[in-house]
Amino acid sequence: MNRPAEDNKRIVLESLLLFGLAGLILYLGLYVFYPATINRGWPQAFAFPFFLWIGILILIPVAILLYSREEKSGTFRARFRLNPVKNEDLKWIVAGIAVVMLFDFVIMDPVQKYMAKIPFFSPPVYFPELLNPMKTIQLPLVSLLGIPLKGNWAFLFVLIPLHTLAMFAEELIWRGYFLPRQEKVFGKWAWLFNGLLWAYGVHFILKWSWIAFLPGMLITPFMAQKTKNTWVSFFIHAVPNTVLWIVVLVSVIG
């Protein structure tokens, strides 16, 4: 086998391994360790975010470690495509956010709720209402993960930076590190390979969203590849997720 073919095989296997490993950590954390720890008396407000984000936050040092093993041909920022956001990028960011929010909160929401009613796809009963379409959200929320929200500004001030860092970690490794490598193998279709792995490798635990989350999972890497800018995909990923912050903010204000 020649060297380019060996490199391509290594890129594909590395992608399958890392995306799959991240998904496995999420599965073990939320389906095994989280229910086990709350049964032992751990507070939900600590246990759920911990097992949700610990496997994601470690992706930052993993991305840096993988980068350190490469032959350097440019700066860290250039390698991970953390480029300045230009006016043209802003257009794609706005378009991407609009499309993702339309699919996530309008078109695909009924699909997600329908699938959640099917036993095989149903979320665990212990999942909080913000991740469980089987539960009704009535604003303002009185409590979340077992802690009262009204006036609890500390919860909001912890949630926002941790959530933001988790989303940045995903974009740094999936779009910043892996997508350029996958382009060497799949060319203009790398975004599709990247998005499918992100959806069904990392987020396979969200079975009730297997159809609903696909547009967002594909649009994000598509925009990253089109603009060659990881910040573009970060904003397309992050801004729709700020709905969570708004829900908590409204509840904290009461």
Distance, CA of 43 to CA of 253 (rounded, Å): 23
Distance (Å, whole) CA 160 – CA 127: 20
Are the beta carbons of 185 and 11 closer than 8 angstroms?
A: yes
Residue 185 DSSP code:
H
Question: What residue type is 162 in one-letter code?
Answer: L
pTM score, whole prediction: 0.95
Domain with 184, as residue range(s), is 3-253
pLDDT class of 2 with cuts at 50, 70, 90:
low
Question: Is the pLDDT reported for residue 1 higher than 90?
Answer: no
Distance, CA of 34 to CA of 47 (rounded, Å): 6
Bridge partners of 143, per DSSP, are 148
Asked if the peptide bond before residue 221 counts as cis, ω within 30 degrees of 0, the response is no
pLDDT tens digits along 153-206? 999 999 999 999 999 999 999 999 999 999 999 999 999 999 999 999 999 999
DSSP of 20-72, one letter per residue?
A: HHHHHHHHIIIIIIHHHHHHTT--HHHHHHHHHHHHHHTHHHHHHHHHHTSPP
Domains contained in the chain, number: 1
In this predicted model, what pLDDT tens digit does every residue of 43-85 receive, in sequence order? 999 999 999 999 999 999 999 999 999 987 789 999 999 999 9
pLDDT per position as a tens digit, 90-110: 999 999 999 999 999 999 999
Of residues 187, 147, 160, 120, the one with CA closest to residue 47: 147
Query: How far apart (Å, rounded) are the C-alpha atoms in residues 56 and 62?
Result: 10
